[in-house]
Amino acid sequence: MAQTALVTGATSGIGEALCLLFASDDFDLVTVARDKEALEKQADELRRLDIDVLPIACDLSDPDAARTIFKRVQEAGKEIEILVNDAGYSPAGQFSDLPIADIRSMIQVSVTSLAELTSVFLHPMLERGHGRILNMSSMMAKTPCPYNALYGAAKVFVLSFSTALARELKHTGVSVTTVCPGATRTNFPKNAGIEDAPAWKYFSMDTDETAIRVYRALMRGERCAVTGWYNKVGSISVRLMPMGMQLLAGEWLMGARKHPLDHEGTEEGSHEEHPHSRKQGQPGTHACGCGHAHDHGDGHENGHPRGREDDQARRYDHHQHGRREHGGMGGTAPVCRISWDRW
């Protein structure tokens, strides 16, 4: 019987890429995002890989989101072997200008729902004596970043909470992995108006490359992983900097501006865009400061827009041709657009 992975923020960015990697390892999937149409379309394409997919349209800013998702999973008779909390978004700008609704929603999505989902799915894992949890943090958890103050603080929570929980569960058979991606080429920099920020111009990673590193860290049961050598160097060197220098570095890397971003617009991280999270008229994703998009919007590769439909068709079609071994994961998997041998 195939094992099942649940992924929040499943319809774009790192979340979408992780779904493909799980499918290539023959995992059934429970996919969570706000956009029902995008979820159904993704589910149809994933089912072409001979896996079972249960899409759940749910807004993680709803206080009852974790309960709703857990109930749907129970009703479907699913046992979740792997939980991936990838959903999140960033209401960037000067904190004093953020509407209270944005603050409440962001904390609900990135902190409260993550902790509640971890709790409700952890208990069955403990009863079975095995399971894996992946919580997505960010390089912004490593140092304060002005004009993304709330987002960075939420990611500090994710990092601290998940690292401590991993220790608590050390001898239970359940692993908790925290990943801190750096800038990743998704919709985020364009939607936030910072596509020319140094973090994306000079230090960004491809979404697929990031997803592979995340997937491997999860499957190896690593407690905490930082993606990319320059992010690893940065996470070490920042500890040696005085706080004033850390703040200046954060401002420079993110292209921080003193005027706030426009809060009008529409929707959940690797999810769709939240009503307050993007500029008016811009295509949507809940975008997080580390750059991994949370759900959906037009796909981007190497920083250039592409047609989502054509791209998804190409990506899923590549899974259909042959099977081969891929190092570090165990088992065999259909060849997909993501090359396992590059990293």
Catalytic residues: 137, 151, 155
DSSP readout, 18-77?
HHHHHHHTT-EEEEEES-HHHHHHHHHHHHTTS--EEEEE--TTSTTHHHHHHHHHHHTT
Question: How would you label 29-53 residue by residue, b for 16+ Cβ within 10 Å and e otherwise?
Answer: bbbbbbbeebbebbbebbeebebeb
What span, in angstroms and rounded, lies between the C-alpha atoms of 288 and 278?
11
What is the per-residue burial (b if ≥16 Cβ within 10 Å, else e) of 153-179? bbbbbbbebbbebbeebeeeebbbbbb
Q: How far apart are CA 32 and CA 87, in angstroms?
A: 9
Contact, 63 vs 38, CB < 8 A? no
Number of Cβ within 10 Å of residue 218's Cβ equals 23
CA atoms within 13 A on the CB side of 293: 31
Are residues 72 and 54 in contact, defined by beta-carbon separation less than 8 angstroms?
Answer: yes
| C-alpha span between 159 and 180 (Å, rounded) | 8
